[in-house]
Structure 1
Amino acid sequence: MHNKPKVAFICVHNSCRSQIAEALGKYFASDIFESYSAGTEMKPAINSDAVRLMKVKYSIDMRQTQFSKLLESLPPVDIVVTMGCNVECPSLPAKYREDWGLEDPSGQEDAVFINTIHRIEQKIQDLAKRIQIGEIDI
């Protein structure tokens, strides 16, 4: 696969779940796809609990490598993954899309965050595998 597909992880605020997915996509699957994240609204900073726990678990400092972005700042993407927006999920043109249905852990205890991070990691690995074997047609 010479051109790696571009995957955009989308949620409303681009401060927690989509940022975690972007970081874990880069960490686990950068050989398979390029990871981006964005939202329809911006928070001034990435969720501090997400930043802290990602640093502990993976030694990834999202504050150093990522920032909150709006949909307009994304390049054209091949795959859109929405995180599970309870309200209106942002729309973005793509060849393939899916929703991961994840609850926003913001404001909850570490165990909830860790569970969300773990689920995102599993979904990243699964997405990479499906892209690799050609199950997702792009």
Structure 2
Amino acid sequence: MDLVYDYDTYKPELHCQGKPKVAFVCVHNSCRSQIAEALGKKLAGDVFESYSAGTALKDHINPDAVRMMKQLHGIDMEKTQYNKLISEIPQPDVVIFMGCNVSCPNLPSQYAENWGLEDPSGKEDAAFAETIAQIEKKVLALKEKLRG
């Protein structure tokens, strides 16, 4: 029997010491996952620890994402973050797949969601602003879901 969750209302029961570790995962760890890590630290650092990682890295964080996060949130991701492989972050309690559009990696966790976000890379600023707004909304919802 497959379990079907209403991800908007489901509240996972996590068993971890301290704050849960949340991994935001994308293939290249250069845009959506980096934005989610930055917003997780800023907006939900009191509830969970935020990490981002990928399966195949680019050599830098997307410059448009860096510029838009500075403009919209005052966060300089180039100063606070870097591209990481899944093997370089702590074992997560929660895994959030950003919307791989390819097969997502198998990453053991107590709870997982796929946010299914489109990659704004190569698009105009409005697409980045929309993606950032979607991630912000989802990070705040996850904060409430994981609040003890």
TM-score, normalization by structure 1: 0.94
- Look up the match of 1:6: 21
Mapped to 1, the partners of 2:101 and 2:108 lie a distance apart of: 20
Q: Unaligned 5+ residue runs, structure 1?
A: none
* 2:75 aligned residue (55, 60, 77): 60
Instruction: In structure 2, give the amino acid aligned to 1:68.
Output: N
User: Following TM superposition, by how much is the alpha carbon of 1:2 offset from its aligned partner in structure 2, in angstroms?
Assistant: 6.8
SS of the residue 2:78 aligns to: helix
> Which residue, out of 110, 125, 130, partners 2:140?
125
Per-residue deviation at 1:109? 0.3
Q: Find out whether 1:96 has 2:132 as its counterpart.
A: no
Deviation at 1:76, TM superposition (A): 1.1
- Write the distance in 1 (CA, Å) between the matches of 2:71 and 2:128: 12
1:86 equivalent in structure 2? 101
Q: Aligned residue pairs: how many?
A: 133
CA distance in 1 between partners of 2:44 and 2:69 (Å)? 16
| Distance of 2:58 and 2:132 partners within structure 1 | 19
1:47 equivalent to 2:78? Answer no
Could you tell me which residue of structure 1 aligns to residue 3 of structure 2? Answer: none
Match of 2:43 in 1: 28
Amino acid at match of 1:58: H
Cα deviation per residue 1:18-67 (whole Å; 9 max; x = unaligned)?
00000000000000000000000000000000000000111100000000
Q: Which amino acid counterpart does residue 65 of structure 2 have in structure 1? A: A
**8 Å Cα contact 1:39/1:90 also seen in 2:** no
Identity %: 61
Q: Give the 3-state SS of the residue equivalent to 1:9 in structure 2.
A: strand
32, 37, 42: which one aligns with 1:17: 32
The Cα RMSD (Å) is 1.2
The answer for the alignment partner of 1:73 in structure 2 is: 88
Superposed structure 1 runs of 4+ greater than 2 Å apart: none
Larger Rg: 2
Contact 1:11 1:40 in 2 (8 A): yes
